[in-house]
Amino acid sequence: MTIITYPNPILRQKTSDIDVSKFGKSSLRELGKDMIKTMYKARGVGLAAPQIGKNIRLAVIAKETSDRYPGEDLNLKQNIILINPYIIAHSVETDTLEEGCLSLPGVLVDVERSVWIKVRADDFRNRPYDFQARGFFARVVQHEVDHLDGVLIIDKKVL
Please give the single-letter amino acid code of residue 117: I
d(CA 94, CA 75): 20
* Contact partners, residue 87, CB within 8 Å, separation at least 6: 117, 118, 119, 141, 142, 145
Q: Is 84 left (phi over 0), alpha (psi -120 to 50) or beta?
A: left
Active site residue 93: no
d(CA 97, CA 111): 6
Which residues lie across from 98 on neighbouring strands? 110
d(CA 62, CA 79): 5
**Does residue 101 have a known ligand-binding role?**
yes
**Does residue 143 have a known ligand-binding role?**
yes
Indicate which residue of 30, 93, 112, 144 is catalytic. 144
**Does residue 90 have a known ligand-binding role?**
no
Closest CA to 134 of 67, 54, 75, 59: 75
> Which residues are the active-site residues?
144
| Residues making up the binding site for Fe cation | 101, 143, 147
| Residues making up the binding site | 101, 143, 147
